[in-house]
Structure 1
Amino acid sequence: MYEIRRYLEHAIANQKNLKEVIFGVDFFMFNSSLMNQPSFSESRLEKRHITWQDAINSTFSIDTLYASRETIIDSLNQPNKDDTYGENGFMPNRNLDNNQTEWRFNGGIKLYFELHSNYQLSKPYLSDFKKIVQLCKEHDIKLKVFISPSHATDLEAIRATGRWQILEQWKREIVKIVPVWDFYYYNSITTEPISNKMKNYADNSHYTPQIGNLVLDRILSYQDDQVPSDFGILITPENIESHLAKTRADREVWARNNPDEVKLVKDIKHRLEQPDNY
């Protein structure tokens, strides 16, 4: 979260006419055990030019030489490969093998247990989040915050590790700071049954561009008639408790209707607790 705050400060320093920020958050970003990425560097920020160190590293290093070599070889071997980054830094052309969707779900849920089983809500990260909101107010930037719509099995993994109450507390804390569009609950998008023919998800935490567009449509009040009526709710201190209560009730309904997915999460957790089984 600290990195995100610093990148926003960098954007403000370099884009004086910045008018609007749409900020997607998730529960895991606030885990106290998560540290800054190794590649994060304060020296790069709030500058209009590349640092000398980055220029040297990206031009003359052995890593750059090897990476360039691999890129050339890959391009020669697969000239029509269509998984490049788009101009906005995302990978809109990445073609995932749909026959491996179930496998990716297994891997994603396993990763949650490995990284977040001992989740603790970070007060410093909440403070950084508050500073992001304050920065936008100070610079007259319109801020819209949303919680990403990860799949229902993500919620089940949180429940399996006994972190459900912390998840609820996290939502309470962030809406004290700013109203938030919540998509991370049981709705017609997040409860799509797991299969190799899914339309909404690549894995348990990564949704498709179409779902990303629905998120934007909802929070920007654009083409509302195209967005499922149960997808997205603006949560505030006034409605947070009723929203959390409904989410608890909806979880029970989902669990009754999807016993195989509940079992999937339990089985992955059990295998991790018995390392010889993995």
Structure 2
Amino acid sequence: MNDKKFTMTVMAIFAALTLAIVSFNYWMDPLWNFGHAHAYNDVQIVTDEREQKTANQQYVSKSANTLLLGSSRSTYIHTTGFKQWDVYNYSVANLSMQEYQSMMKYAFKQNPDFDRVILGVDFFKSSTQEASAPRSIANYEAKVDKPFYRAKNLLSYDVFKYSLDNIKLSSSDDISRDRLYNRQGNAFAKKLSEEETFKQTVNKITKFEDTFYGEHYVYFPQYKKVMTNVLNTHPEAEKLVYTTPISTELFKALVYTDLLDEYEIWLRDLVDVYGGVWNFMYPNEVTNDINNYYDGHHFYPEVGDLIAARVEQGESAEVPKDFGVYVTAKNVDDHIKYVKKLVAEFQK
């Protein structure tokens, strides 16, 4: 083979391999840059939810009338759990309260027709340690807005590896990790045995006690100010707020590290800013059952469906009666007394 033929052969092989990778990456779409769905991409790994969901909004048209923002806990609230509202779930892992505003602005930029915004709030994220650093979605917005963003991803070998992971998981419909998505943007978690659940819960309680609670927790003094800014962002849209329901075992750790007063301040501040908040974070029928959680911290999607029903339908929702109380200025005192009474019972 002469040099010319050799060069042409190498170039042809390279072109064929490149075309194969591009075609496979497009077909699998692991970064959610396109809208197609099929049986072999219906289980999707998490690469970076901020990038995946930000790009998804920019490049795949949406018709939702409700925006949901929250942390990894809120990723497990399925949009199908809402019966009257068409919801887009823009929740991401390790969300800082400082990110709500920029994420809301970005989402409305892509879809100005949102009628309401649902905000999932986590108590441990109200600490100075977790809330003080300024954070926004700006870097991700700039990244997905770059010229040829999608084309570069199709040529990426890393994206190719994500595609391989997804086709393996989708072929067997294998939910084998703590968070995997379907093509509708709904997250799922591996179901654990009772022994595994107990171990995960103990580990999570230890982490919270060592990292987030006790002396590590100092209530962020600017919390109300930041949340007021969120309220005033796109004021034409209704704002609905709910607290994420941690397991009662993890709630006990909060109490035993002397943070019940800060919990009360947090609830009262949310009521002051928003006029009312759906509180799920206290001992109740759902939170008392550790098997409703992957690790005592993240609930399973079945619990997410209950939250969706309560927030959307209020008191008429078909959920456990004691799961979710709409706390306002009128009943906040009584609600705090009720929670303290429950606390007193497990302190006996």
For the pair 1:9 / 2:134, whether they are aligned, the reply is: no
Q: Structure 1 residues 87 and 37 mapped into 2: Cα distance closer, same or farther (>3 Å)?
A: farther
CA contact 2:309–2:317 (8 Å) conserved in 1: no
Give the alignment of 1:1-278 within 5 angstroms.
1-34=97-130, 41-45=137-141, 50-52=145-147, 58=153, 65-66=157-158, 68-69=160-161, 72=164, 75=167, 79-83=171-175, 84-92=180-188, 94-99=189-194, 100-117=196-213, 118-136=216-234, 138=235, 140-178=236-274, 179-192=276-289, 194=290, 198=291, 200-221=292-313, 224=316, 226-256=318-348
Secondary structure of 1:3's match? helix
Secondary structure of 2:222's match? helix
Find the aligned partners of 1:217 and 1:78 in 2 and give their Cα distance. Answer: 29
CA contact 1:145–1:180 (8 Å) conserved in 2: yes
Residues 236-263 of structure 1, C-alpha deviations (whole Å, 9 max, x = no match): 122112111111111122344xxxxxxx
Q: Structure 1 residues 14 and 75 mapped into 2: Cα distance closer, same or farther (>3 Å)?
A: closer
Structure 1 letter corresponding to 2:231: V
CA contact 1:108–1:204 (8 Å) conserved in 2: yes
Find the aligned partners of 2:102 and 2:312 in 1 and give their Cα distance. Answer: 25
CA contact 2:248–2:287 (8 Å) conserved in 1: yes
Q: How many residues align?
A: 244
Deviation, structure 1 residue 227: 1.4
Residues 58-115 of structure 1, C-alpha deviations (whole Å, 9 max, x = no match): 567xxx63563365268559941523412343323x3323241111111211221232
Deviation, structure 1 residue 158: 1.0
Secondary structure of 1:220's match? helix
Find the aligned partners of 2:317 and 2:169 in 1 and give their Cα distance. Answer: 45
Find the aligned partners of 1:160 and 1:53 in 2 and give their Cα distance. Answer: 53
Deviation, structure 1 residue 145: 0.7
Q: Structure 1 residues 39 and 54 mapped into 2: Cα distance closer, same or farther (>3 Å)?
A: farther
Deviation, structure 1 residue 56: 8.8
Percentage of identical aligned residues = 20
What are structure 1's unaligned runs of at least 5 residues? 257-278
Structure 1 letter corresponding to 2:225: S
Secondary structure of 1:123's match? coil
Find the aligned partners of 2:149 and 2:135 in 1 and give their Cα distance. Answer: 11
Q: Structure 1 residues 73 and 173 mapped into 2: Cα distance closer, same or farther (>3 Å)?
A: closer
Find the aligned partners of 1:34 and 1:77 in 2 and give their Cα distance. Answer: 34
TM-score, reference length from structure 1: 0.76
Q: Structure 1 residues 77 and 8 mapped into 2: Cα distance closer, same or farther (>3 Å)?
A: closer
Q: Structure 1 residues 52 and 40 mapped into 2: Cα distance closer, same or farther (>3 Å)?
A: farther
Structure 1 letter corresponding to 2:283: Y
CA contact 1:152–1:186 (8 Å) conserved in 2: yes
Structure 1 letter corresponding to 2:335: H
CA contact 2:98–2:134 (8 Å) conserved in 1: no
Deviation, structure 1 residue 133: 1.2
What are structure 2's unaligned runs of at least 5 residues? 1-96
TM-score, reference length from structure 2: 0.62
Find the aligned partners of 1:239 and 1:32 in 2 and give their Cα distance. Answer: 28
